[in-house]
């Protein structure tokens, strides 16, 4: 996943708003602002990656293989209708 996709950039910008505000107020130097902006971009990329992973639906459930055939023995015939005793 590219770190320069739109959703990553928007998330990084939202995370960078406080950093930019501190830079405009003069509490952070330009070097600190640039360094922290890169961290905001990395945090935005991580947040989008986690959200995409969590929101991706699972694939179809593959049924288990059927059980193996039972061991071959003498064939068993079903009882005929006249073999069943009357109640």
Give the pLDDT of the chain (87 residues) as one tens digit per residue.
566 778 888 888 888 899 989 999 988 898 998 988 888 888 888 988 888 888 888 777 777 776 666 666 666 666 666 666 666
Contact between 10 and 1 under an 8 Å Cβ cutoff? The reply is no
Please state, in angstroms and rounded to a whole number, the distance separating the CA atoms of residues 8 and 17.
14
Q: What is the structure's pLDDT at 54?
A: 87
pLDDT at 10: 86
Report, in angstroms and rounded to the nearest whole number, the Rg of the chain calculated over CA atoms: 33
C-alpha 14/C-alpha 9 separation (Å) is 9
Is the separation of the CB atoms in 8 and 41 below 8 Å?
A: yes
Predicted local confidence at residue 82, as pLDDT: 65
DSSP string, 8-23: HHHHHHHHHHHHHHHH
């Amino acid at each position: 996943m590219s770190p320069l996709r739109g959703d990553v950039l928007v998330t990084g910008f939202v995370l960078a708003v406080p950093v930019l505000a501190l830079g405009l107020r003069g509490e952070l130097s330009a070097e600190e602002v640039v360094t922290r902006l890169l961290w905001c971009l990395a945090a935005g990329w991580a947040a989008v990656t986690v959200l995409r992973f969590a929101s991706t639906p699972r694939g179809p459930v593959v049924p288990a293989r059927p059980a193996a055939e039972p061991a071959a023995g003498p064939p068993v015939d079903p009882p005929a209708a006249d073999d069943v005793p009357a109640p």
